[in-house]
Amino acid sequence: MNQEPPSPASYSRVVLWLLLAVILVALVMWRVYWPRTGGGRDGSAHPAAGRKLTRLSLKPLTGKAKDVTADDLKGKVTLINYWGPWCGPCRIEFPHLYELRQSLRQQPAAQIVSVSCSVYEGAEDNAPDEIKATEEFLREQNADMPTYFDPFFKSRRQLLETASLREFAYPTTVILDRSGTIRGLWQGYIPGDELAMHRLMKELVAEGT
């Protein structure tokens, strides 16, 4: 009995998952052996720091949440993390940001907005498969938090324009002060980035006390 060869789509999916697995293993090894006193980047030194993000439009994806616009950021120090459960570096960074979120829960002036994104830029990210993948990942992480989606890439496109970014990388994390001004921006993830994010969030919260 002849067996049909795998379709190109199936082969592409296998290659994609193998590539993500290799990236994940490499980042885990880097995390283990990277000196605890080194690593990370100073996102406040990014050229986009000082520019104001004037438009934002996020919709609830999972959990109890409501729409988020630029007006909802006023008066609060906000970290927005664009990630996806399909993204190896995102999966490594996520627990650190969730830990940061938990540490700031008693700070009403601070908030972390988690935006789960599709692998396909421009697609509407609230497809059933995307919701299921995000919910499964949150359960794996024991992360009790709402997530959002960015309809038709609008908010990511706005960040691309405001920050003069060549392309949108995953994960991308931006920290805004109480006026909606970018104070730090990280594209991709290097172990130790979360430490710089934590420091900056604490500094910005302290500025208003």
Tell the residue number behind the tokens 């664009």, with chain if given: 82
Q: What pLDDT is stored for residue 26 in this prediction?
A: 60
Q: What pLDDT is stored for residue 7 in this prediction?
A: 60
| Digit-coded pLDDT (tens) for 161-193 | 999 999 999 999 999 999 999 999 999 999 999
Residues 204 and 33: their CA atoms lie apart, in Å, by 31
Say if CB 56 and CB 73 are below 8 A apart. yes
Q: What are the beta bridge partners of residue 182?
A: 176
| Digit-coded pLDDT (tens) for 94-112 | 999 999 999 999 999 999 9
Q: What pLDDT is stored for residue 31 in this prediction?
A: 45
> The tokens of 177 are what?
């002060």
Say if CB 143 and CB 98 are below 8 A apart. yes
Compute the Cα dihedral for 142, 146, 152, 153 and give only its sign: negative
Classify 42-207 by CATH class: alpha beta
For the cut 80, the answer to whether the pLDDT of residue 4 exceeds it is no
The residue type found at 79 is L
Q: What pLDDT is stored for residue 81 in this prediction?
A: 98
| Digit-coded pLDDT (tens) for 9-31 | 565 666 666 777 667 666 545 44
Q: Rounded mean pLDDT of the chain? A: 87
Question: Among 3-7, 81-85, 112-116, 205-209, which is the least confidently predicted range?
Answer: 3-7
Q: What pLDDT is stored for residue 119 in this prediction?
A: 83
Compute the Cα dihedral for 153, 71, 202, 204 and give only its sign: positive
- Split at pLDDT 50, 70, 90, the class of 8 is low
